Amino acid sequence: MHVKRFEDAKSYEAPNHWGVVGLRLQGFEEGGPTNQWVGLSQFLPGGGAGPDSSPVEKIYVILSGEMTVIVDGKETVLRQYDSCTIPAHEVRKIENRSNHVCAMLVVIPFPKETK
């Protein structure tokens, strides 16, 4: 078992994101997971990301607040405990349009070259 305490989580900057603090909860450390990493993204009101895509799929889980996910012009609002999968290469934009911080768990497989 690999335990990582919240106070030991390191922040990271994700490209093409704004108004967000990202914390790496699991992944990229000795003894950690070998097939995915887990981050906690805390988006301020007006924060967001994109439009962009990635070569691997992503899973978003809303822990608190809400997030608007925009794919092909269609907007979907995710609220507490809602989740979605963003397939590899799907262009998406996300926006926190509320006045509350949105806490979102992000699960991403490692790219093949970093395994």
Rounded Cα distance between 60 and 99, Å, is 20
- Given a cut of 60, whether residue 115 has pLDDT beyond it is no
Rounded Cα distance between 115 and 111, Å, is 7
Which uninterrupted H or E stretch holds 18? Answer: strand 17-26
pLDDT tens, residue by residue, 89-103 = 999 999 999 999 999
Whole-model pTM: value is 0.93
Report the mean per-residue pLDDT for the chain.
95
For residue 71, what pLDDT band results from cuts at 50, 70 and 90?
Answer: very high
* Domains assigned to the chain: 6-114 (2.60.120.10)
**Chain center to CA of 77:** 15
**Half-sphere exposure at residue 64, Cβ-oriented, CA atoms within 13 angstroms:** 9
Residue 2: which of 22, 25, 19 has the closest Cα? 25
